[in-house]
């Protein structure tokens, strides 16, 4: 079972820094993230999702490969690649994995302009070592599906910065 954690920040940059730190912790096998997204609200009030994986680009790449392969069978690999890239990009854009984009946009609308939040869907973690890695980040826990004890530990670490 995965746990959702949403941490809010007073600027637009700290969420990106925390995402980079969590990616480093994931490379060290201390945390396994299913999805991680930075949501920002600019000074004009526009909410933007910054996905870690660009599904549109990934879909286009896969579609190009399969389209070219099928196109070779019908002796027109360039047309196959073009059609495959378009179909793959469209399917990637329409696909939503992990945290619901609608949920993130809805919560992002409640932010103050010029702020951000990090949405993380955690599959597994070594809590004590992950919390140690989070020291120095000053944020506010907005939502979690953690137990009360674990949520309180996370709040304490983020408030001590």
Query: What CATH number corresponds to the domain at position 109?
Result: 3.40.1520
Closest CA to 147 of 35, 19, 18, 1: 1
Q: Report the number of distinct structural domains present in the chain.
A: 2
Q: Are residues 104 and 152 in the same domain?
A: yes
Closest CA to 34 of 52, 9, 13: 52
Q: Are residues 102 and 154 in the same domain?
A: yes
Q: Are residues 20 and 47 in the same domain?
A: yes
Helix (H) or strand (E) holding 38: strand 31-41
Range of the domain at 115: 3-52+98-159
1-59 per-position pLDDT tens digit: 789 999 999 998 999 999 999 999 999 999 999 889 999 999 888 999 988 754 444 55
102-141 per-position pLDDT tens digit: 899 999 999 999 999 999 999 999 989 999 999 989 999 9
> Across-strand partners of 121?
4, 35
Rounded distance between C-alpha atoms, residue 45 and residue 114, angstroms: 8
The domain boundary residue, chosen from 43, 71, 94: 94
Q: Are residues 84 and 35 in the same domain?
A: no
Q: Is the pTM of this model over 0.75?
A: no
The domain boundary residue, chosen from 42, 63, 94: 94
């Amino acid at each position: 079972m995965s746990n959702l954690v949403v941490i809010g920040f007073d600027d637009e940059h700290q969420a990106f820094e925390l995402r980079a730190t969590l990616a480093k912790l994931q490379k060290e096998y201390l945390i396994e993230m299913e999805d991680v997204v930075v949501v920002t609200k600019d000074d004009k009030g526009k909410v933007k999702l910054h996905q870690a994986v660009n599904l549109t680009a990934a879909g286009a790449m896969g579609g190009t490969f399969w389209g070219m392969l099928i196109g070779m069978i019908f002796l027109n690999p360039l047309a196959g690649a073009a059609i495959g890239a378009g179909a793959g990009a469209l399917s990637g854009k329409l696909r939503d994995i992990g945290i619901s984009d609608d949920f993130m946009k809805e919560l992002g609308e409640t932010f103050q302009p010029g702020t951000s939040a990090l949405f993380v869907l955690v599959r597994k973690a070594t809590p004590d070592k992950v919390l140690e890695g989070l020291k120095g980040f000053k944020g506010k826990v907005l939502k979690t599906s953690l137990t009360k004890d674990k949520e309180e530990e996370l709040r304490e670490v983020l408030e001590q910065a």
